[in-house]
Every structure is written in structure tokens, then in C-alpha cells.
Structure 1
Amino acid sequence: MLSAHLTYLIKAQEPVADLSRLAEHLPYEWIEHAVRATGTASLRRRRLPAEQVVWLVIALAMYRHWSISEVLDGLDLALPSEDAPFVSKSAVTQARQRIGEAPLAWLFGRTARAWTRQDAARHAFKGLSLWAMDGTTLRTADSPANREHFGAQGYASGRVASYPQVRAVTLTAIPTHLIADINFGRYDTNEMVYAKGLLPQIPEDSLTVFDKGFLAAEILCGLTMGGHNRHFLIPAKSNSRWEVISGTADDATVRMRVSPQARKKCPALPEFWNARAIRTIDARGRERVLLTSLGDRRRFKPADILACYERRWQIETSYCELKQSMLGAELTLRSRTVEGVYQEIWGALIAYNLIRREIASAAWEAKLEPTDISFVRALHTIQHEMMWAALTPAYAKLPACLKRLRERLKSLPNEKRPGRTCDRVVKSRPHRYTVRFLKKNLN
């Protein structure tokens, strides 16, 4: 079974540099600590103890088009038993319900902190680590519990979306696409609320790029005032107003007033806040004004700041990798219960970060950027190697298997065509069935 292979590797005495392995990034001890810290450790011997269920939830995200039984049997995650060679579906459901979401949430936090810290210095921008913050949504199964807890999008016509939705805001490392932290929950909760909760997690000596929807003094001032050398970069809205203090029309220091409503909500906010306004022309010839707290004009040139903002779209790519590539563009998540949805999302985030962690390590060894390696092909390679590891009876063969995994990842560069651009457009979903219109009888 996979966890036993990982446990063997952790206890092995070979130097870490000689083995490229998944357990290097997700040690089995972390999983054991997660179930102990959250009080979900199994008290008696089971076919599916808590540690195995954690791995099962993570694997369900990597093998999205497989049923739970196929994932369980294919990766040999259940402990062996002569009396019952197969685990029933009800037993798997009960096992997931026993551990809940807490161990997965704890494990995500532990792994995200460790993995993002490894690359902070490698991909810094003039001494600052690069981050992006944005929001996304996930559809859940249309069960009464999910609809009541998460809610759904409402339309001007009065209609409500067909499926409940989870709203989420993530903090993502731009160079590696690793998700450092996330806040998610009800759909009707404003993204600003989720974003405000992520501010304490942004490290010092950093630059965070925001979407213009987060242009608010509470967010941006909260970022700069709440830590040392933490900076923001965000495009101005068409209705943004300010007073020019110094500089030129293309690169000026401006002062903006904080609204009385914002100061009433957060008394710590100042009456005015300053920013640097840079007027630029992007690659498509559109004029844009970028607001930033990077005030040193000699160190941070307008062209450098524009290049940083263009990299903001990496967070959109990470959403595509997570929702489209890894989760298979499925209409909804698997779970029909609220706690199951939370558990599934935490497992998917760990799985995504585990793949991205392997890609970053392979890229570092091959002297490439992490974004130069194809995520889809890396996912398929890791899926294949996990299956191979589960079917290999001899533990001694696994180090060579996982070393081969790293070598394969280094040979999977993205084939980017020079000069190719893909406009962001929204296309209507085609109707699956014919729409029948009934004519009224006018006679």
C-alpha cells in the first residue's frame, strides 16, 4: 500500500539528495500528526484507519474520473484482511465521516507553509516574494444540506442557479502556483471578507498582486500596516479618484481619501492613504493605471512593475489546473454533505500542491521555471507512478520508481508558441437537449 511505501522511505537511511520521492514532500509523520492533533486517530484496528482515509481523500482528487472503490482498490489503500478482501462502499463512507475535515485542513496548513517557504528566496523579485490573491467558485452536488449551507447564485430574473456554490479566495505563490492559504464557505459571503482573513498569512518582504475588485483601503492599508515591507500592486478602477502629490502624469505619487463608511467599519484606517500611480500600456495596447506601494522609483521601474502585474494571471492558470485539469472539469464535487464538501476541497488542495511541489523540485534540478513544465503531463506521470508503486511488492524498487518520476517531470516542458495570444472570453454553454417552445392557442 502507498502509505507503507512512504513510511519505508521516510525511515530509510539513504541521503535525501539521492532519492526524488513524494514522501520527501509529504512525510507520513505529518499525516499521523494531523489525525492526532485533531483527535481523529483510530482507536482500534480497522481496514481503513484514519491515516489511510487521509491518503484516500487526497487520491480521490488525483483520480477524479475513478469511483471511490476504484481508487481504494487501485492504490491498495486498505489494510489487508483474509476475511474481507474488499471494502464495502458503506465502510468507506463511514470511514470518511469518522475523520471529518479537520485532519485534512490541518495537513493543508502544515504542507502549504512548508512547501511555499522552500521557494520564496529562489524566485524573488528584487528581494520580494511574489503572491497573487483572487477569488473563484466551485459547484457542489445539489443536496438540500449543501443548498442550505452554501447557497447559490441568484439572477436578476429571480431564478437561482441549478447547483449550490462554494466561494473561495486564495493566496497563491506566483512563480510556483502553490496555494499558500485559502478561505472558503458560503457563496453569499463577499470576497472582501475572505480576503481580509488571508492578510495575516502574507509574509514579510513580499509583493501581492490583486485583482481590481479588491481595491479597498481596508484590504490594502491592512496589508501594508499589518507587517514589515509588505507591498501591493493593483489596477485602478475607472471611477477611482485621487489627488496628485508629486511626480509626472505617467508616474505619480497620489493621495486617496478613505470613505467615512470604511473608517466607521475599521477605525484604525487613516483619513488618507498614499500610493504610486503608474500609467502604462499593456501588450494589447490598452491603457492601464497601476497602483502600488512600491515607492522607490529607482529600484522599481514602471516596466518591472508592469511585468509583475502581467504575471498576476498565473493565479487564473492555477484555478484552471485545479478545476479543469486535475478535477476533470466535472460539473460538481463528489460529496453530497456539507462536511464531505469541506473534506473534499482540503484534499484537492493538498493533491494540487503536492503535484506543484514535485514540479517545482524537478524544475529546480533542471534549471527551468516551474511554469515551464506541463501540469497535465506531470499529473498523468504522477498518477502512473502511484499506481506502479501500489502494485510493486518490493519496497526497494520504489526509490528508483520515484527517482524516475522526477526525471520524467524534467522532460515535460510546456510547448509555448511564440507570439500566440489567447483572449479571455466567456462562451455560452451549448444546450444538451433540444428546447421545445409551446405556442399558445390564440383561438
Structure 2
Amino acid sequence: MATALYETADYPAHPETLSTFEKHLDERWISEALASSGVATLRKRRLPAEQVVWLVLGMALMRDRPIADVVSQLDLALPGKDGTAVVAPSSAAQARQRVGPEPLERLFRRTAEAWAHGRARSQAWRGLAVYGVDGSTLRVADSDDNREHFGLASGGNRGDSGYPLVRLVTLMALRSHLVASAHFGPFSMSEHELCELWNDIPDESVTLIDRNFLAAYVLNQLHDAEKNRHWLTRAKSTTKWEVEESFGRFDKLVRLKVSKVARQKDPTLPKMLLVRAISYRHPDSKGRQWLLTSLTDTKAYPAKELVELYHERWEIELGYDEIKTHLLDSEIILRSRTTDGVEQELWGVLITYNLIRLEMDCIADEADVAPSRVSFVMAMRYIRDEWSWCAVASPGSIPKKLKRMRQKIARFILPARRTKRRHPRAVKVKMSNYAKKRRPNQKKQATK
């Protein structure tokens, strides 16, 4: 232990080497996000606006620490008149309120555009960047403000949910897990209502979507033949079509009829959608499954490869697992008790997640493996440790030893995925038989 301490202390600072976060996140982007949101930064404050942005990112990375402790750990506060850099918890809360959620949203969109799309293009499938769209939910602190804005999930006879819920829909670059776009809102809003990100999908791409989005107005927005923008999904059991042309027994060109109701809502919709239907058999399912896609060129896009590509749709589920289970440390209750605070915190979580995934891509490039072979947990710990150590070093510098941490990439690399594993859906722990604890019950008990 003593040897390790002496060794660490003995490494000189390297002024050209920035921390991982600072290396990827351009300070100008932060300044532009604050300026375009009308947030002025005053250097006389203990926590200027730029430092508050770093605080929100630190909150996502250090879930086990109180907010005031994050400020101290990352050395974010400017020294006071007495020379100390300690701030009260109320000061951190007030600083977050001054900044609000808009600068963090703008910063997310600016960074996502720079990071996610570039990586998706470099990891293309047959010249097409691969994206996925899906939704999820997150629990937030049980405050009156959050209940009123985000709402509770109804459990019927079992009662409402114990916490307010945020509904989230994201566009993800599937091969890097970088989040390219996101929209969220109250739980009562459907994924279709929240899904305003179709226009964020670039040209020369294919987007893998859940069957929930199998609707004419969605497919019509996704497909643009001139811009080579396409979609791929699995058919519902109730989906009907007419065969236009047969390319083989399990590969056909079909016509999907657009309902009158859909065309009344959107007069620009055609009466028919011409799509390709591909059938395959999955070991875990009964009977054959059908895929539908706008990729109708059988030579350019072979059916077998499309079946393999479709199963990359699961990558977005793995991305949500990385956010909820590992980054949020399974404490999937966001800590903010106000609506603006929740939105600010969630944008910070998405930026932080992207920063980790971006560093994982760099590690994968150095190791010459796919990003899916890099351990998210190891990368997250590396960045968390590095940032903490950078905070006690001279500004803008870190020890040379930290630079060599990423060079020891062997410990980040996971074994190749075992694609033949089969696990039925089941739970290991039975739910509790205790009655649900709800706020109205607590109030009744308090009055007795």
C-alpha cells in the first residue's frame, strides 16, 4: 500500500493530458449551450454556471454521494473569502435552479450530433448507419411537483405506482450504444406521442424499430428512398398484406394497406405501402417470424443478413440496462424533487452515459475489437476514478500514470458473446407479500 502511494505521488503532471470528460467535451460547447439558453455566468458566484454543468454530470457519475459531496469531491466551487471551497447543500441546489434544464438539453443535442452520428457512420452495415428506437421509464422522487407533472402509473385493483414515472424515448446508434436523440415527458404520454425524433435520423441509414411503432405514419416518415433512409421491424401477428412479387419461398415484396382512419389523420399517406417481407425461424419461438422492411433490393440487402441485423435491435435494451442498472447503480429513482430538476438531471445522465460510451469506443479502437466487447462497468469505474484524481491535481492536468491506464486495455475487454445461450424469462426473487406503502396510507397513520 505504501509503495503504491509513493508511486502515485511520484508521477508528475502532464499539462497536455486532460481528463477523459474534458478531452471529449469541448468547453466551447458548454459556453454556447449556456449563452443560447440565456444563462449568464457570474464569476463572483461560488458555483458559476459552467461548474454547475460539471456538477450535474458528476451527479450522474457519483450516485452514491450527496450533491454537496460531489461539489467537494470534484473541487467545483470557487474559494470563498476565507479561502475554503466548501459550499452548503442549499447553495448547490440554488445554483442548479439558476441554470435550469435548457442548457443541459442543448449540450446533449450538440454532443450527440457530434459523437453518435459519426460513430454510426464508421460502424455501418452495407453502407448504412444502424440506429434503434425504443422507449423506457424511470422513477423519480415522490414529491408533489413530480406527481403533478409526471403522474403515476395505474395498477388497477393493486393501486397506483409508488413513485411518479418519466417516459423516455431514445434514438440510439446501436453498434456504439451512443444516444443520438432523446425525448421524455409525463408517464401518461405514449411512446408515439413522445417520438418526435424521426427527423433526427440521418440519411444513409437503417433504423430498427419495435413492433409498437409499426404504423403507416411512422413508416412513411422513416422511409426516404432518395436519401437512402430505411427501416426494419418485425410484423405483428395481426399484420395482413398482399403479395406483389415473390423473390423466394420466404422472401416477398408485399403491399400493406393503409387504413382510412390513418389517411384521414394524415392525408399525405398513400393507400398502400410497398415493403419487403422476410420469414425466418427463431429457436425460442413457435412457428416462423416475419420481418418487414423498406430495403427491397434483394441483391444489395440479402435476406439472411437482414435477419441477423434485426437482432441487433436488442442492443438498445442493453443500453437502457447500462443506464439504469450500472450508471444509476440500480437506484433508478432520480434524486431531483422538482420538474426542472428532473429534466436537468436526466439530460446530465444521458450526456454522462454518452461520454462513457465514447471512451469505450476509443478503447475498442485501440484493442481492435467491437465496442460490445468492452466492459461498461470497467470503463465507468475508470472514468469515475480518473475524474476524482484529476480534481486534486493542478487544473487541466492529470498524472502520467492515468494516461497509461487506458493503455492497459486488456482488463477492459470481455470474452466474445455466446450467441447460442438460451434463457427463458423468469425471476430469481419472489415479490414481497407485504402491503404496498403509499403516501395516503402514511398520512392516515400519522393522524392516528
TM-score (norm 1): 0.89
Q: Tell me the residue number matched to 1:375.
A: 376
1:297 and 2:298 matched: yes
What percentage of aligned pairs have identical amino acids? Answer: 42
Distance 2:226 2:50 in 1: 37
Superposed CA deviations along residues 236-256 of structure 1, whole A, max 9, x for unmatched, are 000111111111441111101
Equivalent pair of 2:117/2:173 in contact (CA under 8 Å): no
1:71 and 2:102 matched: no
AA in 2 matched with 1:159: G
Q: Tell me the residue number matched to 1:421.
A: 422
AA in 1 matched with 2:242: E
Q: Tell me the residue number matched to 1:441.
A: none
Q: Tell me the residue number matched to 1:440.
A: none
TM-superposed CA distance for 1:225, in Å, is 4.0
1:118 and 2:118 matched: yes
Q: Secondary structure at the match of 2:311?
A: helix
Aligned length, in residue pairs? 421
AA in 2 matched with 1:273: L
Equivalent pair of 1:385/1:401 in contact (CA under 8 Å): no
Q: Tell me the residue number matched to 2:310.
A: 309
Q: Tell me the residue number matched to 1:208.
A: 207
Instruction: Return 389-398 or 266-275, whichever deviates more.
Output: 389-398
TM-superposed CA distance for 1:407, in Å, is 2.0
Distance 2:410 2:169 in 1: 31
Q: Secondary structure at the match of 2:133?
A: strand
Equivalent pair of 2:130/2:174 in contact (CA under 8 Å): yes
| Unaligned 5+ runs, structure 2 | 1-12, 437-448
Q: Tell me the residue number matched to 1:335.
A: 336
TM-superposed CA distance for 1:205, in Å, is 0.6
AA in 2 matched with 1:383: R
Superposed CA deviations along residues 253-294 of structure 1, whole A, max 9, x for unmatched, are 110111111111111111111110100012435421000011
Superposed CA deviations along residues 136-186 of structure 1, whole A, max 9, x for unmatched, are 001111111111111121133272211111111110001000000011101
Q: Tell me the residue number matched to 2:185.
A: 185
| Unaligned 5+ runs, structure 1 | 1-7, 436-443
Q: Tell me the residue number matched to 2:386.
A: 385
1:146 and 2:154 matched: no
Q: Tell me the residue number matched to 1:102.
A: 102
Q: Secondary structure at the match of 1:268?
A: coil
Equivalent pair of 1:251/1:278 in contact (CA under 8 Å): yes
Distance 2:234 2:323 in 1: 26
Distance 2:225 2:387 in 1: 42
Q: Secondary structure at the match of 2:197?
A: helix
Instruction: Return 69-78 or 200-209, whichever deviates more.
Output: 69-78
Distance 1:389 1:20, change over 3 A: closer
Distance 1:404 1:393 in 2: 18
Q: Tell me the residue number matched to 2:51.
A: 52
Q: Tell me the residue number matched to 1:438.
A: none
Q: Secondary structure at the match of 1:313?
A: helix
Distance 1:434 1:345, change over 3 A: closer
1:232 and 2:231 matched: yes
Q: Secondary structure at the match of 2:135?
A: strand
Superposed CA deviations along residues 311-346 of structure 1, whole A, max 9, x for unmatched, are 100000000000110001114110110000000000
AA in 1 matched with 2:62: Y
Distance 2:38 2:49 in 1: 10
Equivalent pair of 1:62/1:351 in contact (CA under 8 Å): yes
Runs of 4+ in structure 1 off by over 6 angstroms are: none
Distance 1:136 1:59 in 2: 23
TM-superposed CA distance for 1:352, in Å, is 0.2
AA in 1 matched with 2:32: H
Instruction: Return 157-166 or 417-426, whichever deviates more.
Output: 417-426
Superposed counterparts of 1:217-366, under 5 Å: 217-225=216-224, 228-247=227-246, 248-284=248-284, 286=286, 287-366=288-367
AA in 1 matched with 2:119: D
| Cα root mean square deviation, aligned | 2.3
Distance 1:367 1:44 in 2: 44
Superposed CA deviations along residues 175-206 of structure 1, whole A, max 9, x for unmatched, are 000000011101111111222x1100001010
Q: Secondary structure at the match of 1:390?
A: helix
Equivalent pair of 2:18/2:397 in contact (CA under 8 Å): no
Distance 1:121 1:264, change over 3 A: same
Distance 1:375 1:32, change over 3 A: same
TM-score (norm 2): 0.88
Distance 1:317 1:431 in 2: 27
Q: Secondary structure at the match of 2:291?
A: strand
Equivalent pair of 1:138/1:166 in contact (CA under 8 Å): yes
Equivalent pair of 2:153/2:187 in contact (CA under 8 Å): yes
Distance 1:394 1:145 in 2: 39
Superposed CA deviations along residues 51-96 of structure 1, whole A, max 9, x for unmatched, are 0000000110011111112211111111123425410011111000
Q: Tell me the residue number matched to 2:36.
A: 37
Distance 2:417 2:221 in 1: 41
Distance 1:317 1:407, change over 3 A: same
